Structure 1
Amino acid sequence: MTGAPDVDPEPPYRLAEMTWPEVEAAVERSSTMLLPVGSTEQHGHHLPLGVDVYMPEAIAERVAERTGCLLAPPIWFGVSPHHTFKPGTFTVESETFQRYVRDVCVSAGEWGVESVLLLNGHYLAQDPELDIVVRELTTEHDLRAFHVPLVSVFEDAARESRESAVSFHAAEFETACMRSLFPELVRMDRAERVDPPDNALPLTDYDAYGDNRVGWALSADRMDELTPAGHIGDPTVATVETGDRLIEEAVDNVSGLVGALAGSAGE
């Protein structure tokens, strides 16, 4: 049969793999874009440098498969000055990071994207920067923008399934997610428990869901004092089953937001 147009039974969603005519058609189907945002930094002896990108990109891919929204290439470099005490860590200035993420999103708005979800795998550390970016995109560039830290979208599953008292960096939750998503990259034989100091200041806590009631940050020197291994918490209790639950809840929650945006936009 000749002259029949090519029809893709599964419309593409990964922007980096499309041609520009495919992008033009794709934004007619969905004007919502997922942008995985992370960092490349040390994650102890047992996890690779790319954890903070591997996790949000894998979750975003599952959301895009389910909802048909667009998936942008990830941002690999983030605000990580506190991890430069170990080799392999890259970091950029806060202002540089904000401008870069903002400009990426603004450029997408120029060819049809109306809603942007910043899936943040480097949660807690660069939350302030992404909150600012979301405000600028919303108030100055007429985009519907959302900062989506993974620690928030899998919180219920994490609280219900956790085995450790502390999970701060490269500990139970990140290790469990990586065991679920990329088991070949996890060196569980090198994992060890690293407890935070007993003299933590009031209103602060070394836990993703702890008593962090004031803004605070760590320097590279302070991190070096806290953890010779590079992580804080207990990755040894991380299981594939916990990781599966965290990933499933994150995908469900983000998909729900994407679906609501599509409904409000009449897609």
Structure 2
Amino acid sequence: MDDSDGIYRLAELTWQEVEAALEETRTMLLPVGSTEQHGHHMPLGVDVYMPDAVAERVAEQTDCLLAPPIWYGVSPHHTFKPGTFTVESETFQHYVRDICVSAAEWGVENVLLINGHYLVQDPELDVVVRELTNEHGMRAFHVPLISVFRDAAEAVRTSELSFHASEFETSMMLELFPELVDMDRAEAVDGPEDALPLTDYDAFGDNRVGWSLSADRMDELTHTGNLGDATVATREKGKRMVDDVVGNVTQLVDALAGLDAPSADDATE
């Protein structure tokens, strides 16, 4: 691949081109997602399409390396609909960690895990970041999309509930991959009336205790697969959120470019 376009998609490079790219950057973006149901109006690959497209835009601006995405994640609660894949938490953690450690062996010093399957597999990726930092001497960051588009999402939202495959994700997909979204099939699915205290089904809700959903519970909550109002999603909202993500992540990557390599003495064996 000609690196003059500013994109370093590792899967498209030869090893010599990777070697040359490492003279310019030591930062790698790793899109991490899941293949799972996303309602009647969106495809199974939403959680990978989003972080991969966002990471590509960051790579275009920063010339950092972009790894092939991870398509399978921790999604046991979505198996009530066909097409969903899920892996065990420990399997997922080990797989992501090993990918990053192998990149470190040929020169990557900073890794950003761009997480499109946010909230659910946040705990696993937080563990991976800690291991990469403490045991392998890397600068590692977990970047859940929901955290880095929060300001824009809260500014543009019009629905009271956006939990899964609803206003936020649908809007971002309308901006990134409009051809994959069928708004004629989008529906609004209300949240449950029996939510417990200190829990909330909104992505930015008042969740003050840890909790989880089973496939049976999701089956009770939604006939479509989405939870929240997907009908109010727009491309304009999605652009605001995508711009927010790209700007925030680019700022971090640019800052990393000015740092010295992490010291081997910082790693604990």
Please classify the TM superposition score into its range, dividing by the shorter chain length: over 0.9
Spell out, residue by residue over 1:196-241, the C-alpha distance to the aligned partner (whole angstroms, 9 max, x if none).
1112001110011001111110000000011111110000000100
Q: 1:125 aligns with which of 114, 120, 129?
A: 120
TM-score with structure 1 setting the length: 0.96
Q: Tell me, yes or no, if the aligned pair for 1:79 and 1:126 is still in contact at 8 Å.
A: yes
Instruction: Give the drift of 1:193.
Output: 0.4
Q: Distance in 2 between matches of 1:73 and 1:96?
A: 18
- How far 1:113 moved relative to its partner? 0.1
Provide the rounded CA distance (Å) in 2 between the counterparts of 1:206 and 1:47.
20
CA contact (8 A) 2:38 2:226 kept: yes
Q: Which amino acid aligns with 1:187?
A: D
Give 2:23's match in structure 1, choosing from 20, 25, 28: 28
1:9 is paired with a residue whose SS is: helix
- DSSP 3-state at the match of 2:189: coil
> Residue 200 of structure 2 corresponds to which residue in structure 1?
205
Amino acid at match of 2:160: A
CA contact (8 A) 2:51 2:145 kept: yes
Match of 1:96 in 2: 91
1:55 aligns with 2:47: no
After TM superposition, give the deviation of residue 99 of structure 1 in Å: 0.2
Partner of 1:246: 241
Q: CA deviation at 1:9?
A: 3.3
**What does residue range 213-228 of structure 1 map to in structure 2 within 5 Å?**
213-228=208-223
- Distance in 1 between the 2:183 and 2:208 partners? 32
Residue 265 of structure 2 is matched in structure 1 by none
- The correspondence of residues 81-230 of structure 1 with structure 2, limited to 5 A, is 81-230=76-225
What residue in structure 1 maps to residue 35 of structure 2? 40
Superposition deviation, residue 8 in structure 1: 5.1
Q: Residues 232 and 104 of structure 1: is their aligned pair in 2 closer, same or farther, counting only changes over 3 Å?
A: same
Q: Which contiguous aligned blocks of 4+ residues in structure 1 show a shift greater than 3 angstroms?
A: 7-12
Q: State whether residues 7 and 59 of structure 2, in contact with CA within 8 Å, keep that contact through their aligned partners in structure 1.
A: no
Mapped to 2, the partners of 1:249 and 1:157 lie a distance apart of: 6
RMSD of equivalent CA atoms: 1.3
Matched letter for residue 183 of structure 2: M
1:15 aligns with 2:17: no
Distance 1:187 1:220 in 2: 25
Kept in 2: contact 1:115–1:144 (CA 8 A):
yes
Please say if residues 5 and 60 of structure 2, whose CA atoms lie closer than 8 Å, have aligned partners that are also in contact: no
- 1: distance between equivalents of 2:119 and 2:199? 13
- Report the 3-state secondary structure (helix = DSSP H, G, I; strand = E; otherwise coil) of the residue aligned with 1:233: strand
Distance 1:207 1:52 in 2: 18
Cα shift at 1:265: 3.1
Could you tell me which amino acid in structure 1 is paired with residue 48 of structure 2?
Answer: V
The CA deviation at 1:10 is 3.3
Unaligned runs of 5+ in 1: 1-6
The secondary structure found in structure 2 opposite 1:35 is strand
**3-state SS in 2 of match to 1:99:** helix
The answer to whether the 8 A contact 1:12-1:26 is kept is no
Shift of 1:26: 0.7
Provide the C-alpha distance between the structure 1 equivalents of 2:179 and 2:4, rounded to a whole number of angstroms. 32
Q: Which runs of 5+ in 2 are unaligned?
A: 262-269
Q: Which amino acid is the alignment partner of residue 226 of structure 1?
A: L
